[in-house]
Amino acid sequence: MAQTELNHAHQLMLRGLDEKIFTAAALLVARSDATVFHETYGTLGGPGTAKTDPHTLFDLASLTKVLATTPCWMVLAAEKPGVLDTPLEKWFPWGPDDKRCITPRQLLAHSSGLPAWWPYYLLTLPNPDRRRFTAEQILAEPLQSDPGAESLYSDLGFMLLGFIIEDETGQSLDALAARRIFEPLGAADDLRFRPQGEEARIALTRPEDAPGLVNDLNARALGGVAGHAGLFGTAAAVARVAAEVLRSLHGRPTIFDSAVTRMFCTKADPTPDGSRALGFDTCSPEGSSSGRFFSARSVGHTGFTGTSLWMDPEQDVIVVLLTNRVFMGEADTRIKSFRPRVHDAVMEAMGSP
């Protein structure tokens, strides 16, 4: 496919830059294991900063959930089939009674009943016991609904998933993700927690912050590595993980077990109109960030900093859109309408109906 066929999407990206939705962005489109479009836009942090390029690292925010935490759980679930349905009391025996029956499957599906968020970074987290302290705070939160009753998006649940991975494997989340996911895919240099030494290629998310400080303050309070946020990456590296997921869904040899991948990519939301799979999101009937043309089997996710990843196993298409939209102010939500327009332009160019 000639890049000229994606000119509409390209022009939308240039318009987003002109309208100051972001200062830095990357758009990558792939089909059938081949990249058909990859462009970067703008500068790392506005006038006077370096231009973005294919090596620019973006703060991926909640894409951490589907690029690090969820893939680690996919590997773990293949090796320990019962782990997804093991009650939390195994790892948190001191937890309150109303949380002990919650399972990792429910945490992955955002159906645990835990709240969406709480600013634990405002508390004084002890070191080196800040992980235990944070887990205690999370498990003390009142449930918003009974476990398994409905889907309520929760960063807190993914924070617990990161802690459980570490307890279950004896490795830190960043070390495990690098060893089992990023290194086998040749992406370890371009998917990184705490990217020290890479400041010159990091898109900024707050004018007052040094490059490489994770935007999410709860992740920052946990040292930059957490189950819900903390990962930095390039568009090409994000696409490598996505391509491996698609290959697994197609039954081809990958680092993932195909049956496990299909399970994780199947809607698990207990409510009929919900959209959550295990870790991944699926296309909502209306108002999805994926736009109008991704098939019903598509999975993806968005990130607070202005990032998104969508992959369509039926059309064999991957779209990676990375921006630093929070640099313009966290209250600026124009990215919500911008994302689907870009995705629609891409999918129309790819021949979607």
How does pLDDT run across 110-158, given as a tens digit for each residue?
999 999 999 999 987 777 788 899 999 999 999 999 999 999 999 999 9
CB 57 within 8 A of CB 190: yes
**99 to each of 72, 140, 219, 271, how far by Cα in Å?**
23, 9, 22, 21
CB 215 within 8 A of CB 206: yes
Secondary element (H or E) of residue 14: helix 7-18
The reported pTM is: 0.97
**In this structure, which amino acid lies at residue 299?**
V
pLDDT at 2 over 70: no
**243 to each of 29, 80, 180, 203, 346, how far by Cα in Å?**
11, 24, 16, 24, 17
- Whether residue 272 has a cis bond before it, omega within 30° of 0: no
How does pLDDT run across 10-40, given as a tens digit for each residue?
999 999 999 999 999 999 999 988 999 999 9
Tokens standing for 303?
């990130």
Domains of the chain: 3-45+56-64+185-349 (3.40.710.10), 70-169 (no CATH)
Average pLDDT over residues 224-235: 98
pLDDT of residue 272: 84
pLDDT of residue 50: 97
pLDDT: which is higher, 286 or 19 = 19
| Closest alpha carbon to 280 in 1, 119, 62 | 62
